[in-house]
Structure 1
Amino acid sequence: MATRWGAVSLIVAAGIAAALQVGKAAIAAPMLRADLGLGLSAIGWLTGVFALLGLVGGIPAGALVAAIGGRRILVLGLLVTAAGSALGASAGSFAWLLVSRIVEGAGFLLITVAAPSILEHVAQRSRRDLAFALWSCFMPAGMAIAMLAGPLFDGWRDIWWASAGLALAVGIAVRCVLPPDGQRRRWSWQGLAVDATATVRAGGPLGLAAAFALYSLMFFALFGFLPVLLMERMQVTHQMAGLLSALATAANILGNLAAGLLLSRGVGRGTLLAGASLAMGVAGLGIFLPVLPDMPTFGLCVLFSAVGGLIPAVLLSSAPLAVPTAGLVPIVLGLMVQGNNLGQIAGPVAVGSAIQSHGWPAAAVIVGVAALAGMATAVTLGRALRPVSYRA
């Protein structure tokens, strides 16, 4: 079967629509602080709580994808995302805005589990690493678009309405363009328990989830607050902070694509993961500790993002290598989404609280510890993952 690149592009577009919901909270932070009087800790919760449902619902979402079908769940996720964003645009208080972010998080969860599952059916096995590398671009691409477009709106509510409309439009396109769902597994709570147990006991999937959690923690520790950091450190305008943040975020795409190329040339997965974790840790120290001038600090933000982009692409393309049986790929992806969301919650919340209490240097400690843990996890994964086809 030939790889359907049009379908791959639409799947990536669905991911970008989901990632916009993450990035909009960061770029809208100055607007939210002015309009609702929110502190950095509250902004951290708006960024982190988005991932709350993903933290506990990744494996069940994977089971739903296996039972109901990837396209159906992808469309549902986009519709839920649109509804959550519309609810947020109408919110009159921090509490309701927080609730709307949880709804958006449910949509994000469904999208990020369903979309890569569909890639298994639209991409040739020989093109799988490239397809997953393209898919892994969705987060930096969506966040970069949010950073660029956000300052062009008059207020944060307009940003929320626009992101709702985009999610709805992509959902309609997915329903019309993507091929129908193929063979599905039968849903039952007992079957879910058996599949989840088999996935966790395999070891590799748990390692992938842990590595994703550590990467996500480091990434969102910086990018959850980058516009605010740039405005305070470099004294730039909101629009310029958005432009610089978009540039730094988009650099992540370079790492995503480079991972596909390096894997195809035989570079070890553990080597890529360990090296990228080390580079993110060192760059994070230079960013958060006030030891460098403004422009070198921003250059480290770009490096942090670009090298870090290797990690999600390697991890996502490794899911088929870690499953005990081929039918459990959606469950593995769901577990990885749980890890991703754990880091997405822990990063902004921990860093936001640490910065508010102890200043920006406190974030350097969090990122440094996460980088060391990421290197240790990479060594373990390098031994566990082998470039082989699914096991029967």
Structure 2
Amino acid sequence: MTTAAAVPGARTDWLAVMVVIASGIVAALQVGKAAIAMPLVQAEFGLDLGTLGWLASIFAVLGMVGGIPAGTLAVGWGARRVLLLGLLAVALGAFLGAAAPRFSMLLASRVVEGLGFLLVIIAGPSILQRIAAPAQRDLAMALWSCFMPTGIALAMLAGLWLTDWRMIWQITGALAVIAIGLTLLVVPKTDAGTRPSWAGLAGDAGAVLTARGPLLLALTFALYALMFFALFSFLPVLLMQRMQVSLATAGLLSALATTGNIAGNLIAGLLLSRGIGRVKLIIAANLVMGLCGIGIFLGLLPDTVTFLLCVLFAGAGGLIPATLLASAPLAAPATRLMPVVVGLMMQGSNLGQVVGPVAVGGVIEALGWPSAAGVVGAAALLAMLTALGLRDVLGRAS
């Protein structure tokens, strides 16, 4: 087990970086598995769609309220310790869920999983900030930002051949246990942490909440998530109606489109490492997302072109979380408060995940698919205006 403290910035420990990213992917599997397992869970427990929806949405609700508390915990206890605690909660929740005889118990296990997920995604960037050399931190953050689309895509693909939802829960729990072992063996202790006090935690949270930069990053993240989930929450249904394909084909196409988001995250890392301005990158990505979203929802283009726009939408979108996460250290009031900034950004992201599907679903129900183009277009425009406000915050890096 590694016990020596790492020397920040000396040299990038890429093996440790990969283990941290793998831990994030394991956490994201818990998000993706709910979507792919919903029909199986519904068949076993006989639930209506409204009740079943909590299987997935409970994560977003926890993220909306728990981001800053999880970030302050990472400051007080140390990011590595919080990462391990998060993976332990993920494993425990998954195994409890696999054995749940009733849906109420399954939902309770999802709360445990959701808390673990939140701790993992808050601690990961803080660890990477310390173990990556300064010249490679943007690339490390770009790789980290791939964890969510990678985990969701892997879960969707696994659902094509796993027909027992309890087996899916057991496998994801076992992967979390493996991630715990690898973290203990490979990831160095980058910070010792201290015993947190309530006054200190409140002070850290207040310092972030009263700073302009973190609030702008969180708002930009919220608008990105609103646009992304406004489309991808309904993409299988949209593809089935527009292209007249089966549910299985629509799921496969949706997973393929999601991989575009992974590519966008990686491209962002390369562009940032070459000195491309962060604000310019965010504005360009939002512009492309907005135009693609309008083209997709208006339904005036051929089916193949519409699907390619979905891939481009996801790819352009991938530039945004990678750039925002890489900008967190620059916007933090103090370097040690980066986990709290990331926590605030995750609250923004989860707010967008909740608002996006609800807003778009409502306007589609009332006015039809083309009306969703207005929601996405307006969000993209607002995100570009918000990004302009980051120029003073990010300074030369903008």
TM-score with structure 2 length normalisation? 0.89
Q: 1:373, CA displacement in angstroms?
A: 1.7
Q: Is the 8 A contact 2:30 2:113 kept in 1?
A: yes
Change in CA separation of 1:229 and 1:101 when aligned onto 2, cut-off 3 Å: farther
Q: 1:97, CA displacement in angstroms?
A: 4.3
Moved more, 228-237 or 137-146: 228-237
Which residue, out of 267, 272, 291, partners 2:281? Answer: 272
In structure 2, C-alpha distance between the alignment counterparts of 1:164 and 1:212, rounded to whole Å: 29
Structure 1 position 319 matched with structure 2 position 328: yes
- 2:324 is matched by which residue type in structure 1? L
Aligned partner of 2:296 in structure 1 is: 287
Structure 1 position 111 matched with structure 2 position 120: yes
Deviations 1:137-183 (A, max 9, x none): 11111111112111211143333332222222212221222112424
Aligned partner of 1:335 in structure 2 is: 344
Q: Is the 8 A contact 2:73 2:201 kept in 1?
A: no
Q: 1:229, CA displacement in angstroms?
A: 3.2
- 2:187 is matched by which residue type in structure 1? L
Aligned partner of 2:211 in structure 1 is: 202
- 2:272 is matched by which residue type in structure 1? L
In structure 2, C-alpha distance between the alignment counterparts of 1:378 and 1:368, rounded to whole Å: 15
Change in CA separation of 1:174 and 1:73 when aligned onto 2, cut-off 3 Å: same
Aligned partner of 1:153 in structure 2 is: 162
Aligned partner of 2:249 in structure 1 is: 240
Question: Between Structure 1 and Structure 2, how many residues are aligned?
Answer: 388
Change in CA separation of 1:270 and 1:167 when aligned onto 2, cut-off 3 Å: same
The equivalences for 1:73-88 within 5 A come to 73-88=82-97
Moved more, 83-92 or 160-169: 83-92
Which residue, out of 60, 76, 80, partners 1:71? Answer: 80
Q: 1:31, CA displacement in angstroms?
A: 4.1
Aligned partner of 2:308 in structure 1 is: 299
Q: 1:110, CA displacement in angstroms?
A: 0.2
Deviations 1:300-324 (A, max 9, x none): 1101100000000100000110112
Deviations 1:345-374 (A, max 9, x none): 222344445555655445434322321221
Change in CA separation of 1:152 and 1:258 when aligned onto 2, cut-off 3 Å: same
Q: 1:192, CA displacement in angstroms?
A: 1.6
Aligned partner of 1:16 in structure 2 is: 25
Change in CA separation of 1:343 and 1:100 when aligned onto 2, cut-off 3 Å: farther
Q: Say which SS state the counterpart of residue 109 (structure 1) adopts.
A: helix
Change in CA separation of 1:161 and 1:227 when aligned onto 2, cut-off 3 Å: farther
In structure 2, C-alpha distance between the alignment counterparts of 1:103 and 1:356, rounded to whole Å: 34
Aligned partner of 1:184 in structure 2 is: 193
Which residue, out of 102, 105, 123, partners 2:132? Answer: 123
Aligned partner of 2:319 in structure 1 is: 310
In structure 2, C-alpha distance between the alignment counterparts of 1:242 and 1:268, rounded to whole Å: 36
Aligned CA-pair RMSD: 2.4
Change in CA separation of 1:192 and 1:104 when aligned onto 2, cut-off 3 Å: same
Q: Say which SS state the counterpart of residue 309 (structure 1) adopts.
A: helix
In structure 2, C-alpha distance between the alignment counterparts of 1:303 and 1:90, rounded to whole Å: 40
Q: Is the 8 A contact 2:328 2:341 kept in 1?
A: yes
Deviations 1:26-46 (A, max 9, x none): 333444555556666556543
Change in CA separation of 1:7 and 1:310 when aligned onto 2, cut-off 3 Å: same
Q: Is the 8 A contact 2:130 2:190 kept in 1?
A: no
Which residue, out of 236, 240, 258, partners 1:231? Answer: 240
Q: Say which SS state the counterpart of residue 338 (structure 1) adopts.
A: helix
Moved more, 360-369 or 303-312: 360-369
Q: Is the 8 A contact 2:21 2:143 kept in 1?
A: yes
Change in CA separation of 1:141 and 1:192 when aligned onto 2, cut-off 3 Å: same
Change in CA separation of 1:310 and 1:367 when aligned onto 2, cut-off 3 Å: same
- 2:316 is matched by which residue type in structure 1? V
- 1:10 is matched by which residue type in structure 2? V
Q: 1:379, CA displacement in angstroms?
A: 1.0
In structure 2, C-alpha distance between the alignment counterparts of 1:368 and 1:25, rounded to whole Å: 29
Aligned partner of 2:5 in structure 1 is: none
Which residue, out of 262, 265, 269, partners 1:256? Answer: 265
Deviations 1:236-291 (A, max 9, x none): 33433332122111111111111122222222211111111121122122223332
Moved more, 280-289 or 354-363: 354-363
Structure 2, unaligned stretches of length 5 or more? 1-9
Q: 1:184, CA displacement in angstroms?
A: 2.4
Q: Is the 8 A contact 2:135 2:273 kept in 1?
A: no
Structure 1 position 165 matched with structure 2 position 180: no
Q: Percent identity?
A: 58
In structure 2, C-alpha distance between the alignment counterparts of 1:371 and 1:18, rounded to whole Å: 28
Which residue, out of 48, 56, 63, partners 1:54? Answer: 63
Aligned partner of 2:6 in structure 1 is: none
Q: Is the 8 A contact 2:131 2:190 kept in 1?
A: no
Moved more, 57-66 or 307-316: 57-66
Structure 1 position 175 matched with structure 2 position 184: yes
In structure 2, C-alpha distance between the alignment counterparts of 1:197 and 1:4, rounded to whole Å: 33
Q: Is the 8 A contact 1:58 1:113 kept in 2?
A: yes
Q: Is the 8 A contact 2:79 2:127 kept in 1?
A: yes
Structure 1 position 372 matched with structure 2 position 381: yes
Q: Is the 8 A contact 2:138 2:272 kept in 1?
A: yes
In structure 2, C-alpha distance between the alignment counterparts of 1:157 and 1:226, rounded to whole Å: 26
